[in-house]
Structure 1
Amino acid sequence: MTTQSVRPPSHADPGKPGTAKRTDPPEVPRWRRSLRPYLLSIPAVLIVVGILYPFVIGAYYSVLNYAAVNPDPIFVGIRNYVSVLGDVEFWTSVRITGTFAIVATVLETFVGVGIALLLNRSSIIGRIFEKVLILPLMIAPVIAAVIWKLMFNPQFGVLNHILGLGSTFDWLSSDNALWSVILVDLWIFTPFVAILVLAGIRSLPKEPFEASAVDGASWFYMFRKLMLPMLWPYILVAVIFRFMDNLKVFDAVYVLTSGGPGVATRTLQIGAFEDSIINLDYSRGSTYMFLLWVIVFITARVLVSVLGKAQRRAAGAES
């Protein structure tokens, strides 16, 4: 039996019967090709406009005397800024906001790194706890604050019952309110830091640790000399996210204390809310928010600069 070589079908040859003629795709008009980049950029432009428009309007209101009692505002320049910067309540809000942001961020970072180090050890309990750890992040901060407010209740709250504090200890009194709010924020957002740092730990190369273990180095030495320098950029990313978010905290504070008792938890966001929504002084509230933006912007620039240096140091680009 002889075998015949079968030639695979090629493109249709024009002029041969029984073959289909190849057709080139229609040429896209030039005006459509030139218009395509602009069409693709429309979503980004809409997002930018949606962000910049309220910002520009707020900055514009801050130089007016716009309020409910004055529906026809006029330009007053920096008078609102002079008034707010000369107000004791504003600096009290700055102190409370700074205290909350620094203490909450430091505690969340230390506890989150500790949890990440524990979860990095392979065990069944660790894998189960790793799945459970994300649950606080799945609860809206407002809902979590409502739950914790019920737990903080001196009369029927479970915390006083579990800790044996009776019905006399008030978690949301003027002396304890700020620390209670920090506790709630710690419970909600520490898993975020832990998950981010854990991802960083698992992405580190294993060779330096194995070589150090062969040389007899202790776990603390490897953590201090090897893991922490390489892990520092991941920790700084978590710090930047949490510190920026804590400077703008509003929802949990408002649900738990509404800024009280007195001014115990009156953050800058609460101050802006009181002036704009309660007192209906829109220009003063906008001034609060613009000054908060300046604080967040400057802090973010400093922290991002530190992060860049840490990343270059971890990569060996600078000593």
Structure 2
Amino acid sequence: MGDIRKVPASAGAEWLLTGFGLFRRAPMALGALGILWGIGTSLVLSLSMLVPPLAPLVQLLLLLAGPLFMGGLLWAVREVDQGRTARPVHLLEGVREGRAPHLLVALLPQVVAALLLGALLLVLVGTDGLQRLSEVMLRFNEISRSGAQPDPAQIEALVATLPAARILLWLLLLMASFAAVTLALFVMPPQVMFQRAGGWHALRRSLRSSLRNLPAMLVFFVLAFIAIFAIYFAVVIAAAVIGLIAGQAAAMAVAQLLLMAVLMPVFAGSVYAAWKQMLGPAGGVPPAPAPGTVLEA
């Protein structure tokens, strides 16, 4: 697999720019893949609302489909990077050649983190604290719905009844867990897709490479947050115009699809660029395409 390469902090900005650059090279093809994922997710969620007993199964299916979809989207991004055309069939690459079990390993850190955080919440806050927190949140919702001006003294009295220090500690642990899981998963899928790495091995290398290049990771996520805000603002404006023409329901549906069409390919392109710099083939030589995918002379 080669050694993990050290990159400068400015590489984080380069990853994001590469993601946008790859998207600009094939906006329709890559955007269509994001839209397909958004439509599929909406249809499955609609089915769960129409048939409530299926809701747990639907949520499980969506959870399992996430890593597989990301693997297929990364494959499509590489096709664009190598001068070929991204096609909807590329979304199935995550389930081919035995990659699916290794991609699904990405779910395990999330499940473990959720279980640990749930246990810590019970230990730190307790059932009485959780019940009191629920009552306070309901009271806040009532005040918000009433439209009345909140009384600072009343708000302070409600907050004073909560174990604030322990809730704050749990929130800090939540943030730390989210950061650790993000670092472990960041460049895990491209290792499975392009280097045929095992799931656990890819997780460990992703965490090590992210920690070694932590300044670049911080730059990337700060800039990505700014970019997401800008894209969201543009989508909201477009949705407002559509809402005046076709109604709010259509505007919300279009807004969701537009976000998926832009954010998912750009993020996948950024992850692909990060993998190439930190863990990819030396000298930036792209991996060979899968046999039978394309004939080159």
Please confirm whether the aligned pair reaches a TM-score higher than 0.5, indicating the same fold.
Answer: no
Q: Which has the larger radius of gyration?
A: 1
* Structure with the largest fraction of helix: 2
Higher RCO by CA contacts (8 Å cutoff, separation 6 or greater) = 2
> TM-score of the superposition, structure 1-length normalised?
0.27
